[in-house]
Amino acid sequence: MQTGFKAVSVGVLMMLSAGTALSQGAGSSLPWSDRFDTASPASVGLSDQALQSVTDDLRARVETNDIAGAVAAIMKDDKLVYAEAVGWRDMESRDEMPLDALFRTYSMTRPVTAVAILLLHDQGLLDVNDPVSQYLPAFADQPVLIDSANPDPSAVRARVGDITLAQLLTHTSGLGSRSSSLYRANNVHSYDQTLAQVVDNAAALPLFEDPGTQFRYGLHAEVLGRVIEVVTGQPVDVYLEEQLFQPLGMTDTVFYVDEQRASRLATVYRPDDAGQLRAIEMEDIPVTERRTLTSSGVGLVSSTADFLSFSHALLTNTRPDGEALFSEQTRRLVSENAIPDALLPIGSGGYWLGSGWSLGGFAVAMDPAAYNHPVSTGEYWWDGSAGTRFWIDPVNNMIAVIMAQVSPASGNGFREEFKANIVDALNGPAGE
């Protein structure tokens, strides 16, 4: 069976110059050939000419200070056909962006945790329809805010309904986000607390609305990470390493960047008032220090190649060793919308307004016309608040990953333009 995977080496991956084009022609040399089958773009129906626009645009984004640098990759028909590093890992040192650069993925941590929950569901160790209080009793009696727009923790009413694991997976539990005023005022999420403490903090505060009545993007993956710990008896990082990262060959996906990896960590930048990028640290405790909190919602650092491996395993339901990742029944839960019709559409802004949400922790494109960049119906994807994003497209049998480090993550639309250029390459330039 053709899987697109090759046996994964635990050695250092090939590093190529930030200025080296890797996507041109059938004879070009692609990285990660020890991990993936490779092919020329033309052999899988991608226009070489149009695909060059992907690289050209990313380089232009570096020149205009939208981003400092990026690593991008495309798989089509189970083949790696494009991989490119552009710009700078660190602008101050003029250290070019390597292909094996490491990036803070932030919310791209959430689908990883969700997939781990589905593994436990598939193994019969939990059921996604279980109430969360079965595993975390502190969530049994949470009240609900009388007015979610004016969150006064003393102004509450009795809750209607239990929170289920499925509602945590789909952000419909009633929990808020770590950036909400209620959670910030009560120091719910901080890196000097344990995961158990963060989850207990959230359980001690009222819900924003009754479970199952509204989509509210929030702290759900932290709670799910704690469920993993209770069910397995392992710290969540240990479970993810043993059950996901090692089996999928994700050798650079970590919660802590050690000294050996630190030289590959991309610097995060933010534009100043004059539009110049300035280095920032987004958290009080950086990922290069051992933090008390293993944040199963926003804490992972990873590489472009690792997220290709993760995405390809989900698209094909196959691990690198050829074994199935899930049963067929559970596989469908990864990519199918699980938000009730009454709560649709979800999302805000054009970039994901036409979405549903899956139990696998993904936005699912249900109305491509509502998006501000091209997607296929049923495409599932997510991104991170420091400029990372990945798409899994079953219609075109294609995966795209782009990683940069810029806050705000919009970067003047570089991720949307990246996707649009890929679709142009798929369709061919005008006249071709």
pLDDT confidence tier of residue 414, bands split at 50, 70 and 90:
very high
* Lowest mean pLDDT, pick from 14-18, 28-32, 170-174, 347-351: 14-18
List 169's β-bridge partners, or say none.
none
Give how far Cα 336 sits from Cα of 296, 316, 331, 361, Å. Answer: 22, 15, 9, 10
Residue 4, pLDDT score: 74
Bridge partners for 357 per DSSP: 363
Given a cut of 70, whether residue 17 has pLDDT beyond it is no
Say if residue 7's pLDDT is above 80.
no
| Residue 24 reports pLDDT greater than 70 | no
What percentage of the chain carries pLDDT values higher than 90? Answer: 89
Q: What is the pLDDT of residue 3?
A: 60
Q: Is the pLDDT of residue 25 over 60?
A: no
pLDDT of 34 higher than 90: yes
**Region 74-83 average pLDDT:** 98
Does residue 252 carry a pLDDT above 60?
A: yes
Could you read off the pLDDT of 80-132 as tens digits, one per residue?
A: 999 999 999 999 999 999 999 999 999 999 999 999 999 999 999 999 999 99
Tell me: the pLDDT tens digits for 335-352? 999 999 999 989 877 788
Q: Which residue has the higher pLDDT, 22 or 140?
A: 140
Q: Is the pLDDT of residue 26 over 70?
A: no
Q: Identify the CA nearest to 363 among candidates 75, 169, 132, 228.
A: 169
On the question of pLDDT at 18 being above 70, the answer is no
DSSP element (H, E) containing 180? none
Model pLDDT for residues 142-154, shown as the tens digit of each residue: 999 999 999 999 9
- Cβ–Cβ contacts within 10 Å for residue 158, how many? 9
pLDDT greater than 70 at residue 274: yes
Tokens of 231: 């069910």
Residue 6 pLDDT class (50, 70, 90 cuts) = low
Which of 188, 146, 184, 142 lies closest to 163, judged by CA? 142
DSSP result, 177-189: -TTSHHHHHTT--
156 Cβ contact partners less than 8 Å away, ≥ 6 residues apart: 143, 144, 145, 146, 206
**DSSP string of 248-298, one letter each residue:** TT-TT-BSS--TTTGGGBPPEEEE-TTS-EEEE--SSS-TTS--S---TTT
Tokens found for residue 288: 């290069």
Q: Give tens-digit pLDDT for 105-116.
A: 999 999 999 999
The stretch 149-172 carries a mean pLDDT of 96
Query: Residue 156: which H helix or E strand, with range?
Result: strand 156-157
Q: How many CB atoms lie within 10 A of CB 262?
A: 11
- Average of per-residue pLDDT values in the chain: 92
